[in-house]
Amino acid sequence: MRILLALALLVIPLSALAQQGPVQTLLQTHAEDIADPSRQTIQPVLDDLSASGLPAMTEFLEAWADKGVVRRDADGLFFYGQREGDVYVLRSVEDGAEAGEVGRREATELKPNAGVRRLIGTALVQFQLNDPDPARRRAALDALSRNATPDLLGPLRASIETEENGAIRDRKEELERLITLRFGENQAARLAAIDWLSDKVSLEGRAALNNVLTTRTVVGPPEAGANIARVLVPGTDISEPAAVALLAEAGFEVAQVSRADRDAALIAAIEGESVAGVAVASLNTEDARWAAYETLAQAGAVPPRAAPDAVARLLAETPITAVYDEPDPAITTAAAAALDEVGARVARAQAADLTLDALSLASIYFLAAIGLAITFGVMGVINMAHGEFIMIGAYTGYVVQTIVPDYTVSLIIALPLAFVVAAAAGVVLERLVIRHLLHRPLETLLATFGISVALQQIFKNIFGTQAVPLTSPAWLAGAWSLNDVIGISYIRIAIFVLALGFLALLVWILRRTRLGLEVRAVTQNPGMAASLGIDPDRVGMATFALGSGIAGVAGVAIGLFAQVTSEMGSGYIVQSFMTVVVGGVGSVFGTLVGAGMIGGLQKGIEWLNPSNTLAAQTYMILFIILFIQFRPRGIVAQKGRFVQ
Amino acid sequence: MTDATASAGRPTRITRGSPADHPSIRRPLIRRPDVLIFLAILALVTIGATVLAQTGHVSTSTVKLLGKTLCLCLAALAMDLVWGYTGILSLGHFAFFGIGGYAIGMWLMWDRTELIVLDTLARNPLPATPLEVQEAIGSQIFGVVGSTEIPWLWAFAGSLPLQLAAAVLVPGIVALIFGWLAFRSRVAGVYLSILTQAGTLALSLWLFQNDSGLRGNNGLSGLQNLPGLDHVPQSTISLWFLWASALALAGAYLLAAWTVAGRFGSVLRGIRDDEARVRFLGYEVEHYKLAIFTGTAMACGIAGALYYPQAGIVNPAEIAPIASIYLAVWVAIGGRGLLYGAVIGAAFVSLLSSWFTGGGAPDIDLGFYEIRWTDWWLVLLGLTFVLVTLFAPKGLGGLVDLWTERRSRRTSDLGPDEGALRAEEERP
Amino acid sequence: MNRTSLTAIALTLGAAPAFADGHVSCPVKVGVLHSLSGTMAISETTLKDTVEMLVDIQNEKGGLLGCEIEAVVVDPASDWPLFAEKARELIADEGVDVIFGSWTSVSRKSTLPVLEELNGLMFYPVQYEGEESSKNVFYTGAAPNQQAIPAVDYFLEELGVERFALLGTDYVYPRTTNQILEAYLKSKGIAEEDIFVNYTPFSHSDWATIVGDVVEMSEDGRQVGVISTINGDANVGFYKELAAAQVSADDIPVVAFSVGEEELSGLDTSDLVGHLAAWNYFQSAETEANEEFVAMWKDRMGEDRVTNDPMEAHYIGFNMWVNAVTEAGTTDVDAVREAMYGQEFPNLTGGTAVMLPNHHLTKPVLIGEITEDGQFDIVSQTEEVAGDAWTDHLPESAKLTSDWPGLGCGMYNTETETCVQIQSNY
């Protein structure tokens, strides 16, 4: 058996070699690198492959990058391979002709990593720039924008002339400028590119400018004619330890005695019970140890400590400069000026972007809190299970999506259904629990908390603890972007619109309908309202249904951009309370202002401290606690039954 | 509702009469039956557990569970004073409990580490310097969070008296500041509940960060090992803590009973029933509220300082708002406005809870579905709680009242003022 | 038999020490200390099922030392102090011979004092931040140098990343791992201003600003990469926001340390294709042992269940323990521990895991790209890496080493040549 196998191994390569075409032959010369490529080593191979001029090579490179190539273990030959069940269907790399099958254990799929794929993409650029297929031309430009090399500037320029597609042509011209700026030889052309970039905010534009402005750090006096960016002053431009480390790297070292060195020296010098004339036992403070070391140093036994100002002197004597890698000062000056100009524009754009994020967050808080606000206003009770209505809505969306596979249709069904389901749950809660606890707000709070715990656990038992997927339809995927800085995802825009819709609806209901009139009456003076023939029970139930229903819709909306879990409601409940309390109870506009304030505040703190979102939430809560001190009734204070 | 019908026929007592007129209040504390019975049961449990543990019939984990439960009872007692008697539904008292645990935990960790460090450094040829000791302690305690520096919070961690004081004073001061701000601007009712909850959330979020200097979400661990007492087995240490917890609970119960029985207690109940009326009578309502809020916070701090060395670990998850809500739930189930109610509630619910989640309760096979209590216990607890709130506002303690009432035809006057509940019902 | 029943009586009384001598009392008891309720239940229940499966397989093979193995399952309910309580019950009251359990560092830290006090033995199967080596715990999950550091190397060498965003959930594992990574990156010449660190709360859902900040990082023209230690369901919102912002893996690759097959099941992965995860195991590993393991799991638990890295850790840990017990001829903790050192067992991904003197394993590091079907395409697999209890990249830890059989110490200072502590300081 073994002999047969060995024979087979011997025979196959021979027969395979006999029929190898030029592509396979070339590939075999780099077989190991191709089979197990690394970004560090693959470039020469790619150069070799693309320099071969073989027309079939383009297809091979594309297939390789696409993980569509397998290597037969028996003979090490490469094929295009398609996995079908337990076999790979092979096609020849020469002409794509059928080349039989191989068991999945007898061949290895080539899986070049993303770094290698990027290099393959760049290698393909020159072949794809003039490809008749626009998609390939775009792919080539994408590869070029990710990883440009100077030698591609020529082919790119040449391809602009013949480009017929307007958009692609514009893109080619853009890239031509960016690459010219980076690798061009002609000073005028580069300055023109800088000038052209100075009124853009695009990321790649800034990247190109920054690429021109890269610096290296030079310790000691820089060489003559160096294009100096700036002198780094220790303490301001660069921290002192970092500066010392730089100096040390360059060979300027202060002979500092570390505490470990000192202790080692002292231990080495122990004679009996004493060191340098003092008892070992007395060396139990840092000062005593240094004093003993000094004694040793004076005796010449150990190197002396450096003077206290030695470091400062050395730093003062040795300048540290940042020198531009770009030798031409005209270019760097222009680029720096252009970057400054762009920077100011980017800062404004970032502020606008942050405002959009804050608006988005505010609209989410508004949706989550408004139901709570109106029930609190009308019935004077806090519903701790409000967050669970959000969750019920989200799970309704999930269930609909498992039944109706089309995301658009399921969303259209899910939104009203979530409203109905959550509203029904709200009515049940109101009828069974809250009705019986009227005028006992603290107990309502706790009883609804019990409901909240039970609901969370019930959903956990039904749907599991793992987040369930709620996927937005394709037309809501992606983001609207004004430029590379200002952008917001379509889902968030949709939520914003939804929040506006509910705001309008609520205002209309409260101002223009009989129910609204009754709700306002009950909110302001329930006793008087009742004596005027308004049934507070009915009003309470209606508002509860409305408030819970909106929470359900909010759940679907939140689930579209974040996770759906049984605990998602509790993540929003505290924020919702804050929104209601800050805004003022029972007022739609109060809630709106509250949501805006909390959303804005949170984003503001995040902006001040971008590395710690958790801290942002902590500070926000503290701020709100303080805020309540000054406006205990909220921003839009309402006169009503809960004014004490 | 049920409550209103039950109490409709009776006159309201305490709110109308002067407290000094009341017969039971004039009686010496120690002769009051509820206090006596409570102390007797507590002593029985503690001594019984000790004897059984010494003879090997009760495992160390059971003793620890008992000791921890007593601490929770103490916290519930404090919660009852502040909520059941004064009507302030604080959803933050468990945070004070946690702070107490952190304060004592810092000393336990520090001192234990210092002993280890001194032991290691003693093997060096040179005697240790204070700086070396500091550095070694820092790297041992904070190595787990990738740091070696000792945060300023730990300045007094080496001193037991100061950390013990901190376990009481830090909750007190936090409560004092928070309460002063809140009561001064007349934040009350559900607003106050929400604010306390938010404050608790902020505290637990802050503790969660490594930067806060209390070892992030890992918290302080290994607290069951007392420094310098490595030779004492946990079975003995657990008994010490059981006794300490029992003594603290007994003391607190006496103090609480004394507090609510006197004039101070009457004012508290008055505030709960009708704050405005008490204010018009000339009482400085804010001072009373502040005093009880701060005092109970300190009691929670003590309870926490006793609890966490038994639990072994204190971390931010302990302080999460939900814990404080559970505290309220225990009191409500036990019976608020009843001192023994709070104790019963805490003991009953927490022991039941560990029985259910520990797989002690047999699963129920319904044929089409098997109810596993590890999954369904929380549902049961949540719904029970709703039912108790709806139908038995006096909780389990109310049952005791019913029973004693029938037996001796004497009502306990330490229960919730029926007048209060009715007054609330009657309010428009 | 008589002996056994006597022991049983003693155990029920709770007074007898669990393992007084080197003999074996049947059945051999294996404690399972994984949360079955609460927030960690979803992850840990899987591990409980894994241990039960492994026990059943072993019993089919004839048990251990002639005894049946019995799994004793308790539920610490995702409540950290409860881990200590339940561990005490397992060891002192149930008399288990070994514990497989715990998921987070905090639960392990809670259990440690009890394990050391009662001389128990636990296998911890999850990746963690290191900086610990207890005599009574075997760490079969990855230390930072077996997951985080190789992943960063992959970023540096293969993807050419020059600016790093370290995004994490705010708890100890991400914080400490990121601290180690920051030190490592700086040693590789990455400047401080090229490292952006952000921490978010558990279950965070508002990712727009953070994703925007990361995208903005590529403004200086260098490759940006994200190292994510974001935990649990917060990943859903994060990846959704990435997809919405049209950040492809080619522009800004994300490598995650806490996202496995389980987590991806809550997501539509079509927009995430190409993003990365680093583990020591992926379900898609194509070895026969793994295919057998996956088949066995699906057979037992259902076709749609997936396997993951901590499951493999328990698989290795359990089998090593069985072999060590067989070798020692007893379940006595000290004897088994001695027999554990140098134990070898084949990994499911190929190669061999070896138990090192510092109680960690040698493991290969795998980098996988997310595919459309929620699995990972393995694009890189290293040789086995030896787990390092004390990281080499933080100055205070670099001088520490752990060597239980050799030095008898888990925290040995190589500079002063002293044992800093034998018992953990937790």
State the Rg of chain B over Cα. Answer: 23
β-strand partners of A564:
A468
**Amino acid at the residue C301:** M
| Amino acid A186: pLDDT | 85
- Asked if the Cβ–Cβ distance from B389 to A437 is below 8 Å, we say yes
**Burial of B407 per CB tally in 10 Å (0-12, 13-18, 19+):** exposed
Pick the closest to residue B114 from B93, B143, B139, B147 (CA basis): B139
| CA dihedral of residues A161, A166, A167, A168 (deg, nearest 10) | -30
**What are the helix (H) ranges across C283-402?**
288-301, 309-328, 333-340, 395-398
Q: How confident is the model at residue C293 (pLDDT cuts 50, 70, 90)?
A: very high
User: Do the beta carbons of residue A63 and residue A80 sit within 8 Å?
Assistant: yes
Query: d(Cα A302, Cα B99) in Å, to the nearest integer?
Result: 51
Query: d(Cα A514, Cα A511) in Å, to the nearest integer?
Result: 9
Give the rounded distance of the alpha carbon of A219 from its chain centre: 37
Q: How confident is the model at residue B15 (pLDDT cuts 50, 70, 90)?
A: very low
Give A-chain residues touching B192 at CB under 8 angstroms. Answer: none
What average pLDDT values come out for chain A (644 residues) when binned by 10 residues?
A: 50 52 88 88 89 85 89 90 87 86 87 88 86 88 85 86 86 88 86 87 87 86 84 82 81 79 86 84 88 87 81 83 88 91 90 93 92 83 90 95 92 95 95 85 87 91 84 87 87 93 92 88 82 86 92 93 87 84 83 92 87 81 82 70 42
Residue B343 has pLDDT above 70, yes or no: yes
In this complex, is the C-beta atom of B189 within 8 Å of any C-beta atom belonging to chain C?
no
Q: How confident is the model at residue B29 (pLDDT cuts 50, 70, 90)?
A: low
Which pLDDT tens digit goes with each residue over B406-424?
554 444 444 444 333 333 3
Residues in chain B: 428
Interface of C with A in 12-31 (CB under 8 A): none
User: Do the beta carbons of residue C375 and residue C345 sit within 8 Å?
Assistant: no
- Asked if the Cβ–Cβ distance from B65 to C93 is below 8 Å, we say no
Which pLDDT tens digit goes with each residue over B109-136?
999 999 988 988 888 888 888 898 988 8
Above 0.95 for ipTM, yes or no? no
In this complex, is the C-beta atom of B311 within 8 Å of any C-beta atom belonging to chain C?
yes
Interface of C with B in 242-301 (CB under 8 A): none
- Asked if the Cβ–Cβ distance from C205 to A563 is below 8 Å, we say yes
Q: What is the DSSP letter of B82?
A: I
Give A-chain residues touching C380 at CB under 8 angstroms. Answer: 113
| Amino acid C75: pLDDT | 85
List the single residue in A436, A618, A625 with the smallest CB-CB distance to B195: A625
Interface of C with B in 45-74 (CB under 8 A): 73-74
Which sequence spans correspond to the domains of chain C? 2-143+287-361, 145-285+367-386
Mutate to test the interface with A, among B324, B376, B378 (most CBs of A within 10 A): B378
Contacting partners of chain C (3+ CB pairs under 8 A): A, B
**What are the helix (H) ranges across C61-104?**
80-88
Q: Which CATH superfamily is domain C2-143+287-361 in?
A: Response regulator (3.40.50.2300)
Which pLDDT tens digit goes with each residue over C339-354?
999 999 999 998 899 9
- Asked if the Cβ–Cβ distance from C106 to B221 is below 8 Å, we say yes
Which pLDDT tens digit goes with each residue over C298-338?
999 988 889 999 999 999 999 999 999 999 999 999 999 99
Provide the pairing of β-strand C98-101 with C28-33: parallel
| Amino acid C353: pLDDT | 94
Which sequence spans correspond to the domains of chain A? 21-117, 129-214, 218-324, 367-570
In this complex, is the C-beta atom of C5 within 8 Å of any C-beta atom belonging to chain B?
no
Q: How confident is the model at residue C378 (pLDDT cuts 50, 70, 90)?
A: very high
| Amino acid B358: pLDDT | 66
List the single residue in C201, C221, C415 with the smallest CB-CB distance to A211: C221
Here the tokens at position A530 are 């009742």
Give B-chain residues touching C419 at CB under 8 angstroms. Answer: 120
Average pLDDT over residues C119-127: 94
List the single residue in A465, A469, A614 with the smallest CB-CB distance to C201: A614
List the single residue in A260, A610, A617 with the smallest CB-CB distance to C198: A610
- Asked if the Cβ–Cβ distance from C179 to B147 is below 8 Å, we say yes
| Amino acid B28: pLDDT | 64
User: Do the beta carbons of residue C136 and residue C120 sit within 8 Å?
Assistant: yes
User: Do the beta carbons of residue B202 and residue B92 sit within 8 Å?
Assistant: no
User: Do the beta carbons of residue C334 and residue C354 sit within 8 Å?
Assistant: no
Query: d(Cα C129, Cα C105) in Å, to the nearest integer?
Result: 8
β-strand partners of B221:
B313
Nearest CA in chain B to A460: B375
> Is domain C145-285+367-386 in CATH 3.40.1210.10, yes or no?
no
List the single residue in B109, B215, B357 with the smallest CB-CB distance to C75: B357
Query: d(Cα B317, Cα B315) in Å, to the nearest integer?
Result: 6
Give C-chain residues touching B208 at CB under 8 angstroms. Answer: 170-171, 201
Provide the pairing of β-strand C69-74 with C28-33: parallel
In this complex, is the C-beta atom of C210 within 8 Å of any C-beta atom belonging to chain A?
yes
Give the rounded distance of the alpha carbon of A205 from its chain centre: 21
- Asked if the Cβ–Cβ distance from B209 to C93 is below 8 Å, we say no
In this complex, is the C-beta atom of C186 within 8 Å of any C-beta atom belonging to chain A?
no
SS3 call for A330:
helix
Query: d(Cα C138, Cα C323) in Å, to the nearest integer?
Result: 15
- Asked if the Cβ–Cβ distance from C219 to A206 is below 8 Å, we say yes
Distances (CA, A) of A288 to A257, A258, A266, A297: 15, 15, 11, 14
Residue carrying structure tokens 């809670």: C110
Pick the closest to residue A549 from A434, A363, A390, A369 (CA basis): A390
CB neighbours (10 Å) of residue A264? 13
Query: d(Cα C47, Cα C103) in Å, to the nearest integer?
Result: 9
Please provide residue C420's backbone torsions phi and psi, each rounded to the nearest 5 degrees: -70, -45
Low-confidence winner among A143-152, A342-351, B326-335, B354-363 (lowest mean pLDDT): B354-363
The angle that helices B60-79 and B321-334 make with each other, rounded to 10 degrees, is: 80
Interface of C with A in 116-175 (CB under 8 A): 154, 157-160, 170
The DSSP line for A71-84 is EETTT--EEEEEEE
Give A-chain residues touching C204 at CB under 8 angstroms. Answer: 613
**Burial of B410 per CB tally in 10 Å (0-12, 13-18, 19+):** exposed
β-strand partners of C344:
C354
Give B-chain residues touching C132 at CB under 8 angstroms. Answer: 144
The DSSP line for B260-297 is HHSHHHHHHHHHHH-HHHHHHTT--HHHHHHHHHHHHH
Q: How confident is the model at residue C3 (pLDDT cuts 50, 70, 90)?
A: very low
Query: d(Cα B207, Cα A571) in Å, to the nearest integer?
Result: 18
Which residues, at least 6 apart from C259, have a Cβ–Cβ distance to it below 8 Å?
Answer: C228, C230, C235, C277
Give A-chain residues touching B191 at CB under 8 angstroms. Answer: 581, 628, 632
SS3 call for C61:
coil
List the single residue in B62, B139, B313 with the smallest CB-CB distance to C84: B313
Pick the closest to residue B241 from B345, B38, B101, B56 (CA basis): B101
Chain B: give the shortest CA distance to residue C373, in Å: 31
Contacting partners of chain A (3+ CB pairs under 8 A): B, C
Give A-chain residues touching B381 at CB under 8 angstroms. Answer: 450, 453-454
Q: How confident is the model at residue C111 (pLDDT cuts 50, 70, 90)?
A: very high
Mutate to test the interface with C, among B121, B139, B217 (most CBs of C within 10 A): B217
Query: d(Cα A591, Cα B147) in Å, to the nearest integer?
Result: 43
Which residues, at least 6 apart from A278, have a Cβ–Cβ distance to it below 8 Å?
Answer: A288, A291, A292, A295
Here the tokens at position C266 are 């809550």
Give the rounded distance of the alpha carbon of C308 from its chain centre: 11
**Burial of C49 per CB tally in 10 Å (0-12, 13-18, 19+):** middle
Please provide residue C99's backbone torsions phi and psi, each rounded to the nearest 5 degrees: -120, 135
Chain C: give the shortest CA distance to residue A465, in Å: 6
| Amino acid A535: pLDDT | 87
**Burial of A243 per CB tally in 10 Å (0-12, 13-18, 19+):** buried
| Amino acid B294: pLDDT | 96
Please provide residue A324's backbone torsions phi and psi, each rounded to the nearest 5 degrees: -65, 140
